[in-house]
């Protein structure tokens, strides 16, 4: 008799649709027979085109000699540095193996059968995945102008809802809800839900328009703010993010995590990256300039796009899958969006100046 893994698996797991990540450079080079791997341009995972801070690289090198030791499971130095930076107690911070791990921990702690999670229809897909893996019901709320509709999301909260996820700025739409909208939403919130503001890209948003969600944490409101070193800090490969939440919430998440969830090299690099204000400023300049360039070129080509505030942009190219594939043949990787119900769009990450120009040139050829 042949063993049926499907039959033996938990049915709600067997039914999950796997996450489709941005394709790795080497994989695309192999598939399309591109010999010069270095010529492939990846604009598919909202990474920092400048790479990591040189200070983070130096810290990783130093820490390499200590890799026979287990990490500090409490991430003491990173936690303290973040606490000081964000003006919250260290007990309100929990580092994680990327913010993805923290999204998953939230589901372990707060979701399960007979609960529901509210999210936007075109929000970051991992919210749906973790909710489904926990057997929670997903309440997907349509967006308004590609933006979270917080009034509709509040109206969608049911008595069994435990979590509301708000990607802000949201991936893949690149849009953000502002402080006043968040204040209104929070004012009318029933007391059976926790709101997760996923701020993976918040450091790229001009400070004068970035909402102050940490104020809710300081006031002990039911809010979890997620941030990451993967995007603006250029450390996606290391896997390190963090949650900021009231102490009682962090204590619960802390129980559900692995004892050494953030590796020692990641802790050292994140700490060093936090101290590099210059790299952060360069990154912001690169992203602003790159977005402006891309928007101008899309206008010139008559391609509709969704005005963005993070380091990526959704553009309507007609047939997203075809363009995704033909760009890959030319060594440019973007992200198709049919999985998000946007078959005519692709999402492109802001790269270096040369990478952005290369993308536009190849896009023109593919659309000609």
Ligand X SMILES: Cc1ncc(COP(=O)(O)O)c(C=O)c1O
Residue pair 213/184 in contact (Cβ under 8 Å)? The answer is: no
Judged by beta carbon, residue 272 or residue 360, the one nearer ligand X is 272
* Direct distance between the N- and C-terminal alpha carbons of the chain, in angstroms, rounded to an integer: 55
Bridge pairing between strands 241-244 and 93-96: antiparallel
Residue pair 217/92 in contact (Cβ under 8 Å)? The answer is: yes
Residue pair 335/347 in contact (Cβ under 8 Å)? The answer is: yes
CA neighbours within 13 Å on the CB side: how many for 360?
22
Q: Smallest distance from the beta carbon of 120 to ligand X, in angstroms?
A: 11
User: What tokens does 3 get?
Assistant: 């063993």
Q: Smallest distance from the beta carbon of 231 to ligand X, in angstroms?
A: 7
Q: Smallest distance from the beta carbon of 142 to ligand X, in angstroms?
A: 19
Name every residue whose Cβ is closer than 8 Å to that of residue 70 and which is 6 or more positions away in sequence.
260, 264
Judged by beta carbon, residue 17 or residue 192, the one nearer ligand X is 17
Judged by beta carbon, residue 48 or residue 230, the one nearer ligand X is 230
**Given the rule CB under 6 A, which residues bind ligand X?**
46, 98-100, 124, 167, 171, 198, 200, 228, 230, 236, 241
Neighbours of 42 (CB within 10 A): 19
Helix (H), strand (E) at residue 345: strand 345-349
Judged by beta carbon, residue 226 or residue 363, the one nearer ligand X is 226
Residue pair 350/313 in contact (Cβ under 8 Å)? The answer is: yes
Judged by beta carbon, residue 34 or residue 350, the one nearer ligand X is 350
Judged by beta carbon, residue 47 or residue 149, the one nearer ligand X is 47
Judged by beta carbon, residue 115 or residue 171, the one nearer ligand X is 171
Q: Smallest distance from the beta carbon of 290 to ligand X, in angstroms?
A: 17
Q: Smallest distance from the beta carbon of 186 to ligand X, in angstroms?
A: 20
Name every residue whose Cβ is closer than 8 Å to that of residue 178 and which is 6 or more positions away in sequence.
209, 211
Judged by beta carbon, residue 166 or residue 315, the one nearer ligand X is 166
Judged by beta carbon, residue 100 or residue 283, the one nearer ligand X is 100
Q: Smallest distance from the beta carbon of 125 to ligand X, in angstroms?
A: 9
Helix then strand then coil, % of the chain, to nearest 5:
45, 15, 40
Q: Smallest distance from the beta carbon of 36 to ligand X, in angstroms?
A: 27
Q: Smallest distance from the beta carbon of 257 to ligand X, in angstroms?
A: 14
Residue whose C-beta lies closest to ligand X: 98
Q: In what order do the strands lie in the sheet with 241-244?
A: 93-96, 241-244, 223-228, 194-198, 161-167, 116-120, 137-141
User: Which runs of consecutive H residues, i.e. helices, occur in 275-367?
Assistant: 277-301, 320-329, 353-367
Q: Smallest distance from the beta carbon of 146 to ligand X, in angstroms?
A: 14
Burial of residue 196 (number of CB atoms within 10 Å: 0-12, 13-18, 19+)? buried
């Amino acid at each position: 008799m042949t063993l049926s893994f499907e039959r033996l698996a938990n049915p709600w797991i067997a039914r999950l649709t796997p996450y489709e990540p941005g394709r790795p450079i080497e994989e695309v080079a192999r598939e399309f027979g591109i010999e010069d791997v270095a010529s492939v341009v990846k604009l598919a995972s909202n990474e920092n085109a400048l790479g990591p801070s040189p200070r983070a690289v130096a810290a990783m090198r130093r820490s390499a000699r200590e890799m026979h030791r287990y990490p500090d499971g409490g991430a003491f130095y990173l936690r303290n540095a973040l606490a000081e930076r964000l003006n919250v107690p260290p007990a309100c911070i929990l580092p994680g193996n990327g913010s993805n791990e923290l999204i998953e921990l939230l589901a372990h702690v707060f979701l399960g059968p007979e609960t529901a999670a509210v999210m936007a229809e075109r929000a970051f897909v991992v919210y749906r995945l973790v909710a489904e893996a926990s057997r929670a019901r997903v309440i997907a709320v349509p967006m308004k102008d590609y933006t979270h509709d917080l009034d509709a999301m509040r109206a969608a909260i049911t008595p069994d809802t435990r979590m509301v996820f708000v990607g802000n700025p949201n991936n893949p739409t690149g849009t953000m809800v502002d402080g006043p909208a968040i204040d209104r939403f929070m004012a009318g919130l029933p007391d059976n839900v926790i709101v997760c503001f996923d701020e993976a890209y918040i450091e790229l948003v001009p400070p004068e328009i970035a909402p102050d969600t940490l104020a809710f944490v300081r006031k002990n409101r039911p809010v979890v703010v997620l941030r990451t070193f993967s995007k603006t800090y250029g450390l996606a490969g290391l896997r390190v993010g963090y949650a900021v939440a009231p102490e009682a919430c962090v204590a619960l998440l802390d129980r559900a995590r692995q004892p050494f969830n953030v590796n020692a090299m990641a802790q050292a690099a994140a700490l060093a990256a936090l101290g590099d204000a210059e790299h952060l400023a360069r990154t912001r300049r690169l992203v602003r300039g790159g977005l402006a360039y891309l928007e101008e070129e899309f206008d010139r080509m008559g391609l509709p796009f969704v005005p963005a505030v993070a380091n990526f942009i959704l553009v309507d190219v007609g047939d997203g899958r075809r363009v995704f594939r033909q760009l890959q043949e030319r060594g440019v990787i973007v992200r198709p969006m049919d999985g998000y119900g946007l078959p005519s769009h692709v999402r492109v990450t802001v790269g270096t100046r040369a990478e952005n120009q290369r993308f536009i040139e190849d896009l023109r050829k593919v659309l000609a």
